[in-house]
Structure 1
Amino acid sequence: MSVSQEQAGWFAQAFGQMVGNIDQAVLGKQQVVRLALTCLLSEGHLLLEDYPGTGKTQLARALAATVQGSHSRIQFTPDLLPSDVTGVTIYEQAKRSFEFHRGPVFATIVLADEINRASPKTQSALLEVMEEGRVTVDGTTHEVGRPFMVVATQNPIEQAGTYRLPEAQLDRFLMRTTLGYPDHEATVAVLADAARRDRSKGLRPVVTAQVVSDMAALADQVHIDSAILAYVSRIAEETRRHVNVRLGLSVRGCLAFVRCAKTWAVSQGRTHVVPDDVKALAEAIMSHRLLLTAEAEFAGVEVVDVISQVLAEVAPPTERVA
């Protein structure tokens, strides 16, 4: 079943309304907002890595406020336990039975603030829920529901006392992006409205959780030609044999490309994916999946430089496959 032009138009309109709503809280960052919504509607999880005070938490809150679902925030600290995230079974004296008390991970949008400050055991508990979509406590499985998205934040500075996410577990995040500092006009607008401590607090929901699920299902039906699939495969192969790359793009990374490219395409009112969709998502999809060699890191090579080089060397398709 393919997506009709009418359905694509409805999707693009709803997507635009969501972007506009979040833009009221996160000024001047529409590209990042679009990436975050693409991640949500592709049923993935987002890692925001940037310096303090750039609006990472504000973006996550605004995203949760835009979707009429539940949301929670987990402030990760070194003493946080896995049960503090997933929940715990407690004996209820009055009922004379054990009952499961759900943790904050049972929400539509979960903000995992400063995830690299928690111990590896607690990080693994969250990452397991992200992958499986359920929690198992004392032999009983509890579904977290759909839609479900984790927005994790971490700072690239102040590494003392933190636990870096293993590269293999970073692959669990569909995308990684950065906000960066706002431009001059956006900064002046924020300063002029300094009395508002939380710009996301006044936002009203634009769509319901059910609509998010419907949009995700619709995005899955977007057409992607075999030529585009071959293009993604060639990009992955090029990263694996690149002289500066120790670990290239995995098959899971290729699947992330396909899922996100479909959502990105229909968010612009198209019923099919074009090569520019793949290019637009390349940095967000690959930046946390490529590992550079020690020699390349010592020489100051950046992952974004490798991504740009790979995209320049792999020619995009110009014709559809019959």
Structure 2
Amino acid sequence: MNKNDLHFFLGGADLEMVTIRKLLEKEGVSYSDAGLVWGASTSKYGDEIEKVAKEGKTPVIVELAVDSKIPSNTVNVDHHNENASKPASIMQVCELLDVEPTREMQLVAANDSGYIPAMIEMGATKEEINSIRYKDRASQGITPDQERQAEQAIAGAREACGVTIIKMPHSKTATVTDRLFNPNKPQNIAVFSEDGEVNYFGPEDICRGLQGNKIGERPASWDSNQTEVLYDHFGGWVGGAGLGKEGGTAFWGGYPDHVEALNFILTKNQEKQKEKSNDKIADVVMAKILSDFKGNKK
């Protein structure tokens, strides 16, 4: 595929997307960047994708959920949900452009797919890891105010069934996960945000359970020739290097009822706990936290 025949449409801002944009600029490849946030979709570009196709180019959408009519020749670059088994998006773009990824790109790919553990696994130095995480947070537009809010939220964190439960105003979860990362302890963090979003970082089977099983498809509301996936639980998105691997850790995000999501997360973690001696204590703590959530629903 000739790179001059491609036109990229970029998704939500993070370090990977910034790196992709810089690569496209370096290679002289045309692209559109609407300055979107995570969870962005094709409708944000209006009819621009269709126009590009009519001009004879191949549209390439990068980490954009399809919620509008798109040309049949559109290339979808993503590594979340049903695409979770694919390489990181930056690696897919390198392949499309026939470009050898640099060490920096490989670090960005590892960070995006498997966070700090994936960078450690590829032999990244502490300096490289700190640099990538700093750049990632900056690319997400995280403000000093949001950093402070995260610190306050962590100070007020609750613990139950092995899960660290965080409530904070925004959903910039890197402000929490970076601060709580421990290389000697698997992640088990649930972040509930006032914008309605919930993010969970923990055992991959619980992440998959939060999304649920794919139970079918239905004609998309935006285009009857396309379909949208139906799940038997909360839906949302899943990803992470440990997805589908027994004992692995992954992440899930979505916009469920907060109390229902917390109840599911705590119940599944309680089932996993091997020590039964404190079951009654765990039940009391869990019930108290769920009660507090019901009384403070946003």
Q: TM-score range by the shorter chain?
A: under 0.3
TM-score normalized by the length of structure 2: 0.27
TM-score for the superposition, normalised by structure 1: 0.26
